[in-house]
Amino acid sequence: MTLETVSQTRSHAGTQGVYSHRSAETGTDMTFSVFVPDHAEGAKLPVLWYLSGLTCTHANVTEKGEYRRACAEHGVIFVAPDTSPRGEDVPDAADEYDFGQGAGFYVDATQEPWAKNYRMRSYIERELPQVIAANVPAADMDRQSIAGHSMGGHGALTIGLRNPDRFRSISAFSPIVAPSEVPWGEKALGRYLGSDRASWREYDAVALIEDGARHPHILVDQGTADNFLVEQLRTHRLAETCDTAGLDATIRLQPGYDHSYYFISTFMAEHVKWHAERLG
Ligand SMILES: N[C@@H](CCC(=O)N[C@@H](CSC=O)C(=O)NCC(=O)O)C(=O)O
């Protein structure tokens, strides 16, 4: 598979790259960023995936996430994919920031006209890892963890919970923990997957845990001044569900922080370190 280098920039004792490739899953060109810390020749470094939220591309966290110093210090490769397929030929929902392009919700859509291109689950779980393994020689694909923000926090939790043997740890900033129960999620899952709510459960972290999914290493940070907390994020649902299931997740409320990258960047280094400790 051919990878086009969009840019490579030296930063924090490493290389920040942006690349694009043709995706078989989405049927579109996809762009992602990868930060590779400097390393000895032949060395293998663990991989931390970061899934972004509504309206984002790879660029939001790459420019505002402030992960590079911590990744260089701990020797962690950081991969930031896009949040949906994009292009003039890709169905979109004009004027809806929370659906369509920029809002793939990390599902494989089953409904028309979304099913052909909106295959972000398979893209993140299968295709992009193969692209990374083939093109980033330092990437140790036996040591992976996953993180994300908001819609991407939902993606990290659900992908991590479905694949506990692949991802050694899961962390999330302000995740949508129960999309089946909130407006953003009901809209996206209803239109991408259809009205049968049973088919939504594998894309809902609370439902996955209720249905038996487990992971020993989960960290969530949530700002108390986040304007989406009450209606869309509902962190307490994850806390309650983990308690009931006997899951020892670390769920922290951070006083005064909002939903923005000012919040994410404040705690990013802690998340990178926490993952690095579990990645060995
Ligand atoms: N109405 C807003 C909502 C968009 C927004 O807040 N997006 C967040 C993620 S929300 C959940 O997934 C985000 O990360 N924005 C990008 C950023 O750089 O802050 C709007 O349309 O702006």
Q: Quote ipTM for the complex.
A: 0.95
Q: In which band, very low, low, confident or very high, does the pLDDT at 1 lie, cut at 50, 70 and 90?
A: confident
Give the Cα separation of 142 and 46 in Å (integer). Answer: 8
The residue behind tokens 């790459």 is 62
Q: Is the CB of 261 under 6 A from ligand 1?
A: yes
Give the Cα separation of 135 and 130 in Å (integer). Answer: 9
pLDDT tens per residue, range 181-207: 999 999 999 999 999 999 999 999 999
pLDDT of residue 82: 99
Contact indicator for 114, 120 with CB cutoff of 8 Å: no
Domains in the chain: how many in total? 1
pLDDT tens per residue, range 32-84: 999 999 999 999 999 999 999 999 999 999 999 999 999 999 999 999 999 99
Among this protein's residues, is 226 annotated catalytic?
yes
Give the Cα separation of 264 and 202 in Å (integer). Answer: 26
State the average pLDDT over residues 161-168: 98
The yes-or-no verdict on residue 2 having pLDDT over 90 is: no
Question: What is the CA 63 to chain-centroid distance, rounded?
Answer: 16
pLDDT of residue 186: 98
CB atoms within 10 A of CB 256: 8
Give the Cα separation of 45 and 144 in Å (integer). Answer: 10
CB-based contacts of 101, cutoff 8 Å, min separation 6: 84, 85, 86, 90, 92
Contact indicator for 220, 172 with CB cutoff of 8 Å: yes
pLDDT tens per residue, range 243-257: 999 999 999 999 999
Q: In which domain, by residue range, is 239 found?
A: 3-279
Ligand 1: atom nearest CA of 228 is 10
Residue of the nearest CA to atom 5 in ligand 1? 54
What's the token pair of residue 51? 């899934």
What CATH number should be reported for the domain holding residue 87? 3.40.50.1820
State the average pLDDT over residues 229-245: 98
State the average pLDDT over residues 257-273: 99
The alpha carbons of the chain give a radius of gyration, in whole angstroms, of 17
The yes-or-no verdict on residue 21 having pLDDT over 90 is: yes
Q: Please report, for residues 34, 48, 102, 220, 246, the alpha-carbon distance to residue 77 in angstroms, rounded to integers and kept in the order given.
A: 7, 6, 24, 21, 32
pLDDT of residue 191: 98
Q: Is the CB of 182 under 6 A from ligand 1?
A: no
The yes-or-no verdict on residue 145 having pLDDT over 80 is: yes
pLDDT tens per residue, range 103-125: 999 999 999 999 999 999 999 99
Q: Is the CB of 60 under 6 A from ligand 1?
A: yes
Q: What is the DSSP letter of 43?
A: -
State the average pLDDT over residues 233-252: 98
pTM exceeding 0.90: yes
pLDDT of residue 165: 98
The strand pair at 250-254 and 218-223 is best described as parallel
